[in-house]
């Protein structure tokens, strides 16, 4: 049977959509302070850089490298914002869904399907769009990259913006590794490095990927060894990136979308990430009086039960920026 791009997506997506790269860990019963207890017991597995904008700071292993997972996508967003501001691209530029989906290989915890659903794009096969000739905008892809952590959207933006702009943007925070996510997933599937360009052009390689899918680990523990070796960075650099984006309206719009604001707060920006054993959190807060706070929390070697309480880590980090009492508990725990 002729191998079409669409058949490749369907085969790989159906085989692996729930197998890897969990986009939104399920919440288990826990309290945010449970994470502080985990910090105390796992000091070597957590890195924190936090500045609440009013003199409160936390720095713990802030310059030690740890995996970033999808928190790194703030760098892709920064590059997109720069391209829009300089006229390199237009937010309303039309992109065929098929062009976007050529970077999709499943294994994203359902992020791509959540993106299609949010954009009102039917996908009756449960994996990819019914009509690959349908159009979305470049700004739609930036939105789903941040809101749903769509890996295919991230890699398409990388391709559209160009390696030069991606690398120039990443150079602002040189300790943040900014991967081609599809290349990293291909490495997991194949056990060797291949280029995305080669994969997109070589039907034999695409067939090999399909053939290897049944052999990839499907358990949380089975995936953790691969996740440990994925792209990394420091909490200090991720913190600086989030703080910088508070001055960039295009980026701010996407990071701050949908966040409820307490009194006196003008905006809350967020991008997190997760891989088996890894949960990462990046935040910024803009107060109405002009103050800015930012935080990055990177965790690794997280067991499956604790992984299910990722939402509590997000809540804890947010509250540490907003509430001095919570920040003090952070400081005491990691002092």
pLDDT at 89: 98
Provide mean pLDDT across the span 39-59: 97
Is the dihedral angle over the CA atoms 112, 302, 297, 329 positive or is it negative? positive
pLDDT at 24: 45
Q: How confident is the model at residue 27 (pLDDT cuts 50, 70, 90)?
A: very low
pLDDT at 26: 46
pLDDT at 5: 53
Beta bridge partners of 58: 50
Mean pLDDT over the full length of the chain: 92
Question: Which CB contacts under 8 angstroms, 24+ apart, belong to 120-123?
Answer: 121/97
Residue 13: pLDDT over 80: no
pLDDT at 17: 42
Out of 3.40.710.10, 3.90.1640.10, 3.60.20.10, 3.30.420.40, select the CATH number for domain 5-334: 3.40.710.10
pLDDT exceeding 70 applies to what percent of the chain?
90
Q: Residue 209 in contact with residue 105, Cβ under 8 Å? A: yes
| 186, 152, 135, 255 alpha-carbon torsion, rounded to 10° | -170
Beta bridge partners of 267: 286
Residues 6+ apart with CB under 8 A from 233: 65, 66, 68, 72, 173, 175, 176, 177, 298
Q: For tokens 């060894």, what's the residue?
A: 225
Q: How confident is the model at residue 12 (pLDDT cuts 50, 70, 90)?
A: low
Residues 6+ apart with CB under 8 A from 55: none
pTM tops 0.75, yes or no: yes
Q: Residue 121 in contact with residue 97, Cβ under 8 Å? A: yes
Express each pLDDT in 277-334 by its tens digit.
Answer: 999 999 999 999 999 999 999 999 999 999 999 999 999 999 999 999 999 999 999 9
Q: Parallel, antiparallel, or unpaired: how do β-strands 265-275 and 94-96 relate?
A: unpaired
Q: How confident is the model at residue 10 (pLDDT cuts 50, 70, 90)?
A: low
Q: Residue 312 in contact with residue 35, Cβ under 8 Å? A: yes
Express each pLDDT in 224-270 by its tens digit.
Answer: 999 999 999 999 999 999 999 999 999 999 999 999 899 999 999 99
pLDDT at 29: 52
Q: How confident is the model at residue 212 (pLDDT cuts 50, 70, 90)?
A: very high
Express each pLDDT in 101-150 by its tens digit.
Answer: 999 998 898 999 999 999 999 999 999 999 999 999 999 999 999 999 99
Residue 210: pLDDT over 60: yes
């Amino acid at each position: 049977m002729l191998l079409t791009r669409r058949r490749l997506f369907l085969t790989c997506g159906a085989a692996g959509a729930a197998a890897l790269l969990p986009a939104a860990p399920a919440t288990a019963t826990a309290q945010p302070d449970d994470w502080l207890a985990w910090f105390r017991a796992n000091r070597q597995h957590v890195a924190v850089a936090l500045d609440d904008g009013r003199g409160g700071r936390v720095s713990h292993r802030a310059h030690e490298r740890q995996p970033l997972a999808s928190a790194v996508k703030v760098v892709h967003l920064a590059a997109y914002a720069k391209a829009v501001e300089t006229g390199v691209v237009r937010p309303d530029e039309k992109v065929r869904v098929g062009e976007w989906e050529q970077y999709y290989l499943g294994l994203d915890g359902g992020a791509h399907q959540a993106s299609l659903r949010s954009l009102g794009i039917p996908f009756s096969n449960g994996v990819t769009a019914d009509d690959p000739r349908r159009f979305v905008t470049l700004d739609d892809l930036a939105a789903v990259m941040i809101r749903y952590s769509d890996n295919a959207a991230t890699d398409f933006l990388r391709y559209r913006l160009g390696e030069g702009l991606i690398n120039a943007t990443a150079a602002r925070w040189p300790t943040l590794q900014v991967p081609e996510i599809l290349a990293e997933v291909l490495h997991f599937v194949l056990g060797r490095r291949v280029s995305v360009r080669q994969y997109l052009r070589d039907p034999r390689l695409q067939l090999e990927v399909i053939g290897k899918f049944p052999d990839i680990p499907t358990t949380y523990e089975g995936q953790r060894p691969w996740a440990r070796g994925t792209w990394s960075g420091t909490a200090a650099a991720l913190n600086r990136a989030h703080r910088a984006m508070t001055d960039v309206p295009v980026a701010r719009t996407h990071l701050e979308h949908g966040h409820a604001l307490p009194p006196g707060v003008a905006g809350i920006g967020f991008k997190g990430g997760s891989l088996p054993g890894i949960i990462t959190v990046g935040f910024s807060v803009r107060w109405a009086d002009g103050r800015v706070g930012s935080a990055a929390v990177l965790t690794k070697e997280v067991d499956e039960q604790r992984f299910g309480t990722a939402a509590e880590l997000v809540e804890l980090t947010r509250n540490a920026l907003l509430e001095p009492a919570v920040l003090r508990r952070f400081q005491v725990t990691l002092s």
